[in-house]
Chain A
Amino acid sequence: MALTPLLWLLCFQGDSAAHLERGTLSLRLPCPFMQEQVLLENLKSGLTTTFEYRVTVQQGGKARMTGAILEVRYELWDEVFLLRRLKLDGTGDELQFKDIAALTAWFHQVQIFQLSDPITANDLLVEVQLRIIPFSEKEQAETLKWVNQGVGAPGTRNNVSQPGNRVFTMIMGNSIRRETLLEYQWRLLSGASL
């Protein structure tokens, strides 16, 4: 599957993803990524699509960082999208969406950062990094376990401890990686309009 690393330099000026009200900045994820075909296919595959975002804010010589992991899985039995959010502070919540439109709408409105301090200077720099991974760590571990069980399956005269099987499982373990499916980076530069 092709990895599509995209580096977008996007100025939020006039974009609905950045909202300034009474000197307070709030950020949302701009949602062009939800239009990617490869992502839509992965979301419907039944695998847990993992969204990792990280927000770095530099203002007045100080840097702050926040981020979260969003795990989205299409529950094939109930035919709903399950979203699990894990924040850096350890808190988390679970949401459920009936279709992709609802999920996309949630991504549109979710606030990923809020700067409560009034913006007084022109030295604000916000960087948003989003990485989308096609499956979760749990699914990776399950697949490795499945491979190992298959190699050492009873009745196959195979044993995991055999040198050939060890090499095979080593190669498989090294090959099953959580490579990035899509990657985005946005940068907000404070300007005259802010």
Chain B
Amino acid sequence: MNWRWLLYWLLGGSCAVLLFLFVLQRTVTRPAMNFLFQSEIPESLARSMEDQKQLARLDPENSALYRQRFEELDLLRRNYQVLQINQTHLARNFETILVGGLIAILLLAAVLTFMESRRTHRFLLGLREQMAALAENRPEFPSLGAKRGLFRRIDELAREQWSNHKKVQKKVRDLEHLNGWQESARRHAHEIRTPLTAAFLEMESMQDRFARDLPPPLEEAWQEHRQHVITQLNRLKEFTNAFAAFGKLTQPTLKPQNLNAFLKQFAQLYHSAWSNLNLVLAPDLPDALCAFDSEHIRQVLVNLCQNASQAMGDRQGTISLSTRKEGLFWICRVADDGPGIPQAVLSRLFEPYVTTRSIGQGMGLGLAIAQKIMLDHGGDLILASSSAAGTCFELFFPCEEQS
């Protein structure tokens, strides 16, 4: 319960109690006062005083004692009579106190309501500004300035929405960017594959037509050059296939399943896939229901492990897998204890054809494909951290309830 509502309840309760006391005062206290100040009491006191006088006459030796008792009774009687005279004032003053308290509390409630109304109005204006910032996609998000309470929560939610909006925008940009690259790769693969096939055929034709009748020294030289050309053509074919694979990347078939169970299976299956990597899965992972294409996710994980293995070189390393839930996402953390990613490529890490390997050893498409797969899942792939102590990637999977 909001503390303001609690305050209002307290004020309302106090009003009700005071009203009750006021009614009680009118209906009960006045009759009670009438009862208390009934005339029988002073009359009884007067009779007692008269008795003391009689006793003094009958017992003159103790006259002083009776006189003293008489004076005490007289004082009591006079005090009682003074109160009796002011009986109306007493009742009225008690009522005034109650009504005064009632009015004070009502005034306080009115003042608090007015202040709350002003505060609400101010926050609503702030909220409108926030909505405008969200709609206009401003780089800075204004704050409501609320320190606690409902508006603080609203502020947090709005900020969360703005943050999510920014993330979605980034994802859309990344996806568009990768789609562009994908289309480009597909076209290049198509354009290269035709002349490449022709080159292979021409090499075979030349082998059939010219190489048979060559003298041994020339035959040897021919075979050497032919093999060299075929090697280069095979390499070109390999790259073209990689282009084609990137270009033909299909949309995932999403199927709700337990991500942690999948990871457990992956860790068991690929336990010895990389000789220099020790694959460790965090223990006691709960069920994590997500919708994903297991083949695609396997491709992503293999790619990350492959990169880690290559980064390790000759030394032995560990790659650990764990998951956690954060908001609407299950996050899979893939962390290695390798040498980290060079600073120069960090900002363009997920762009196609960006690689840390030497020319001819990789196309730099792995992370781009992995990110494309995760984006196609409605999630994301980010580099959480990279240092000399290791590299950590995080894979975001939308929770099944939200997917």
Contact = CB atoms under 8 A, between A and B. Distances in A.
Q: Do A and B originate from a single complex?
A: yes
Interface of A: 1, 45-47, 76-77, 134-135, 139-140, 142-143, 146-147, 167, 171-172, 174-177, 179
A175 B82 contact: no
Contacts of A77: 53, 67, 70-71, 74
A150 to B, nearest CB: 9
A175 B93 contact: yes
A179 B84 CA distance: 13
B356 interface: no
A47 B82 contact: yes
Nearest to A176: B86
Contact of A46 (B81, B83, B93): B81
B75 interface: yes
A47 B82 CA distance: 8
Contacts of B187: none
A167 B94 CA distance: 10
B78 interface: yes
B53 A171 contact: no
A77 B78 CA distance: 14
> Which range contains the number of B residues in contact with the other chain?
20 to 34
Contact of B83 (A45, A134, A167, A176): A176
A160 to B, nearest CB: 17
B89 A175 contact: yes
Nearest to B53: A77
A177 B75 contact: no
Nearest to B94: A171
B93 A174 contact: yes
A167 B46 CA distance: 32
Contacts of A146: 75-76, 79
A176 B89 contact: yes
Contact of B79 (A1, A142, A167): A142
B285 interface: no
A92 B379 CA distance: 106
Contacts of B86: 175-177, 179
A46 B77 contact: yes
Contacts of B81: 45-47, 135
A135 B77 contact: no
A172 B74 CA distance: 21
6 contacts: A46-B81, A47-B81, A47-B82, A142-B75, A143-B83, A171-B90
B85 A1 contact: yes
Contacts of A147: 83
Interface in B61-117: 67, 70-71, 74-79, 81-83, 85-86, 89-90, 92-94, 97
Query: In the complex, which of the residues A142, A167, A176 has the most CB atoms of chain B within 10 Å of its own CB atom?
Result: A176
A37 to B, nearest CB: 15
